[in-house]
Chain A
Amino acid sequence: MSTSLLASVLDPSLFVPDLRTRRKESVLGEMIARAHLAGAVRLPELLRETLVLRERAGSTAVGKGVAVPHARSLSVSEPHLVVARSRRGLAWTPGDPQPVTLVLLALSPAEVPAEGHLDFVARVVGATRLQRNRQKLLEAESFDAVAAVLREVVA
């Protein structure tokens, strides 16, 4: 995925500065509801079931307090990235002592080949690899500041 394409999936209405919920399935529901409200998701229940199924088959926590749930689904017609933070932290993987504070939900339309979707996911994970960037994402006061970090790291 090119830099411009990653920039195009960033949308201020797909940002949850501080999640209300703490359980993984509820968090996914909260993020999907936000995306549905913004018109980015047309079948929220289908997407929720798909994401929950992936989590049951294996956690999407990637370490350092970051989770990247992701899916290709009929419920989206364009690639989207939903960014959410949890100040209190989430128990994403049972037994993992490190709480998840940053959740980046990467969504691709069903027509996208698996490799293309993983390119997108790899970009998103890559953006959170450096501690400095994670810190900036967690402390950003506005979506513009979040988007600036994500654009900068993939430039």
Chain B
Amino acid sequence: MSETRHLLQLHDLDLLLEEARDPELTARLRRLGFGPGDVAAIERSRMRLLAQLDARWLGSYGRALQRYGRGLAAVRDRVCLGCYITLPTSASPRTRGTLTLCESCGRVLYWH
């Protein structure tokens, strides 16, 4: 798995964790009939994933996650879907699927 894939995986996993750690959300899921979520299992997967990630991306991701609750944002039509700023044309990477950093909010950007 590539560095990009690992970081995207971490982002999706952190969304799962956000739901699993929130008592109100989990209570709501239980009322809907879902079984209890095993937070520890998700956290173990997170640890395994962290061990495979480059410190450079992890630092930026972690800082933005602490600050906003999200470490990474997708880019659509050159707009950062984290802070909704329009990114300069020069910020567009040549290849799709590349990671960069949002100069406005600091989130890792995923260009697809």
A-side interface size class: 35 or more
Verify B11–A110 contact, CB threshold 8 A: yes
B61 to chain A, nearest CB (A): 13
Shortest Cβ distance from B20 into A: residue: A57
Docked Cα-Cα span, A74 to B36, in Å, equals 25
Whether B74 sits at the interface, judged by CB under 8 Å, is yes
Q: How many residue pairs at the A-B interface have CB separations less than 8 Å?
A: 92
The A89-134 residues at the B interface (CB cut-off 8 A) are 93, 109-111, 114-115, 117-118, 121-122, 125
Cross-chain contact B25 with A57 (CB below 8 angstroms): no
Give chain A residues whose Cβ lies under 8 Å from the Cβ of B11: 74, 110
* B15 interface contact, C-beta 8 A: yes
User: Which A residues lie at the B interface, using CB under 8 A?
Assistant: 42-43, 45-47, 49-50, 53-54, 56-63, 68, 71-75, 77, 93, 109-111, 114-115, 117-118, 121-122, 125
